[in-house]
Structure 1
Amino acid sequence: MDALKTIACLLYPNVMSLDVTGPLQVFASANVERQRQGLPAFYRLLVLGQQVGAVATSAGFQLLAEQSWREIDAARIDTLLIPGGPGQEAQCLNRELLAWLRTAEPQVRRLGSVCSGALILAAAGLLDGRRATTHWADADNLRRDYPDIEVLADCLHTYDPQDLHGNGHIFTSAGVTAGIDLALALIEADLGRVTALAVARRLVMFLRRPGGQAQFSALLTPEPSRVPRLAALLEWIPAHLSADLSLEALAAQAHMTPRTLSRVFVQELGMGPGRYVERIRLEAARHLLQDAQASIATVARLTGFAHPENLRRSFHKHLSVSPQEYAERFA
């Protein structure tokens, strides 16, 4: 009997290439580490497409689908991964694929998504009543279009092999590199922490960012055309983070009343001025810590948090780690 565990990843036009190759490379590296120890390979990697042949990715180059998902016996698959990318919208309307996923789900040991691939699982009805995450930019769409899903926008993945609610069978992960974190978690569940650590070291990765850790995504200044009444103010704020950025001060800078400014922020950004300022300050602090440019106390002062304790509270609130932990992991 073949003891290799088949890790299959879906391939479709305009898929995000790294959503496919990132996790698969992690599993391949686990095989390499075992072979270095004189042990047999544990995983077989398989790329599935609607038809056999080359498929164009969103990066412009092509990947090869080795077998059609229409023809494979799903019971042969141990773990099935659904990647994301711009092409996921068309796959959410691919009735044949969605029907196949519903048929395959009870036959595979594990079924997971990477990035916006969660929307494909949602379209198939496989996330109803479950907790799920996806890329931060797609979280609102997932929440709006699939109200039966508990969307966890600020976590890296929902895989938990010990979970009694089925998160060891169906799970999701956030943007691109979170799929790599997910693959490491799957390897640790299969082969133990020592092997997962060896793979992480070989790939020069942080061993395991906990699945519940927040997505570290930049809050970028929106295009001026999207925020016509706030464009000038939003360009001014990052250069004055240590200044008084109270509602009254911002309103004076924008030549609006505080009440009007609050209303415009909600209309154009979906959040109030205070929340926006905190997120911009947090993003600046994150980059300073990541670049090891200053102490935590100095970072707190430069970014307008004033005191390290205020910085710590904001990090825990939005990123689920302390500034010290963040600096140790990413500096």
Structure 2
Amino acid sequence: MDALKTIACLLYPHVMSLDLSGPLQVFASANDERQRQGLPPFYRLLVLAEQPGAIATSAGFQLVAEQAWGKTDPAQIDTLLIPGGLGEQAQCQNKPLLAWLGAAAPQVRRLGSVCSGALILAAAGLLDGRRATTHWADVEQLRTRHPQVEIADDCLHTYDPQDPAGNGHIFTSAGVTAGIDLALALVEADLGRPIALAVARRLVMFLRRPGGQAQFSALLTPEPSRVPRLTALLEWIPLHLSDDLSLPALATQAHMTPRTLSRVFVQELGMGPGRYVERIRLETARTLLQSAQASIGTVARLSGFAHAENLRRSFHKHLGISPQEYSERFA
């Protein structure tokens, strides 16, 4: 067989331990599954830091780096992962690391981040013009500090091996356990769906959450203090999902002109009224499907989609799966 594919993960002071150990365990479990099938291991796991040795994580315990990244040839790395954590800010100012990442990017087959590790990639200039996500609590920081990055603030990861835009080469994932979903997607791309599903079963996980799965529903319900001009309307919308929620109807309810309402929505929520209403309806449908207490037709009616086909289109557009598949995975 070919040489083992090296999966390298960065370690630095106050890293989030699960950002590092979670994805690495997925690759290790893939090796285990292959061995159960009489096949040789596929991955070699490597932990890199500024200097080899033990480093304290944000949890207080230590993890051990085997090599210094500065003395590692990126051409020998297949996949390089950058985790997040409390120490991420210092690494965003670590000029030697950022320069090494910039030099490594064209040499490694895949370069990705977990959680707030996206801020490190962005600081290295590697996300400019790219679609990227991160932990929901760090989205605004990423958007403010790196306006040239296209923010995908409501998905688990941006990895897509079929994407001609390059999201199979450089990609990001959302908060903490989303790194495990990302690692499963990488394993599936490398070894096929059966191995990825076997790993998920061994780890007692969802078989596979799609990358477009929303990471945190509270993104749809901003605090009133953040949207003072829209507070009353945002509280009214979820109670009237089956009503006419067109722009003119919303403008009448808000006592604004349609043009003014559209401008205020974009200013305060970063999206237009139509998109916001669709996301609220989608979130409501997700909640109903997770409770497994209503048919898909009833869910469509209660969440304001009116017909199951409208619900299906919205699910495929935003989540990449059908309502039926969502119900089977998450109910």
Which structure 2 segments of 5+ residues have no match?
none
Change (3 A) 1:320 1:33: closer
Counterpart residue type for residue 84 of structure 1: G
Aligned counterpart, 1:98? 98
How far is the alpha carbon of 1:288 from its aligned partner? 0.8
Aligned counterpart, 1:299? 299
Quick one: distance in 1 between partners of 2:187 and 2:314?
A: 33
2:6 is paired with a residue whose SS is strand
1:269-308 map, 5 Å: 269-308=269-308
Aligned counterpart, 1:47? 47
Quick one: distance in 1 between partners of 2:307 and 2:169?
A: 44
Quick one: distance in 2 between partners of 1:34 and 1:267?
A: 51
1:1-331 map, 5 Å: 3-51=3-51, 52-57=53-58, 60-67=59-66, 68-85=68-85, 87-128=87-128, 131-135=130-134, 137=136, 156-160=157-161, 168-209=168-209, 213=212, 215-218=214-217, 219-247=219-247, 250=250, 254=254, 256-259=255-258, 260-331=260-331
Change (3 A) 1:147 1:258: closer
- Decide which moves more: 72-81 or 90-99: 72-81
Counterpart residue type for residue 65 of structure 1: V
Q: Percent identity of the aligned residues?
A: 74
1:22 is paired with a residue whose SS is helix
How far is the alpha carbon of 1:25 from its aligned partner? 1.4
How far is the alpha carbon of 1:283 from its aligned partner? 0.4
TM-score after normalising by structure 2: 0.80
1:310 is paired with a residue whose SS is helix
Quick one: distance in 1 between partners of 2:147 and 2:247?
A: 34
Deviations 1:254-274 (A, max 9, x none): 5x3344544433332233333
How far is the alpha carbon of 1:250 from its aligned partner? 4.5
2:224 is paired with a residue whose SS is coil
What is the aligned length?
325
- Contact (CA 8 Å) 1:23, 1:180: kept in 2 or not? yes
How far is the alpha carbon of 1:17 from its aligned partner? 3.4
Counterpart residue type for residue 257 of structure 1: M
TM-score after normalising by structure 1: 0.80
How far is the alpha carbon of 1:253 from its aligned partner? 5.1
Deviations 1:27-75 (A, max 9, x none): 1211222333344443332322334323332xx4434132332344445
Deviations 1:146-190 (A, max 9, x none): 576666666633341x66776554443344444223322332343
Counterpart residue type for residue 134 of structure 1: T
Quick one: distance in 2 between partners of 1:276 and 1:49?
A: 42
- Decide which moves more: 174-183 or 131-140: 131-140
Counterpart residue type for residue 56 of structure 2: V
How far is the alpha carbon of 1:82 from its aligned partner? 0.9
How far is the alpha carbon of 1:298 from its aligned partner? 0.9
Which structure 1 segments of 5+ residues have no match?
none
Change (3 A) 1:226 1:164: closer
- Decide which moves more: 5-14 or 24-33: 5-14
Change (3 A) 1:28 1:89: same
CA RMSD after TM alignment: 3.5
Deviations 1:306-326 (A, max 9, x none): 222332232233333332232
Deviations 1:179-221 (A, max 9, x none): 223322332343343322321221233444555x454541332
- Contact (CA 8 Å) 1:136, 1:215: kept in 2 or not? no
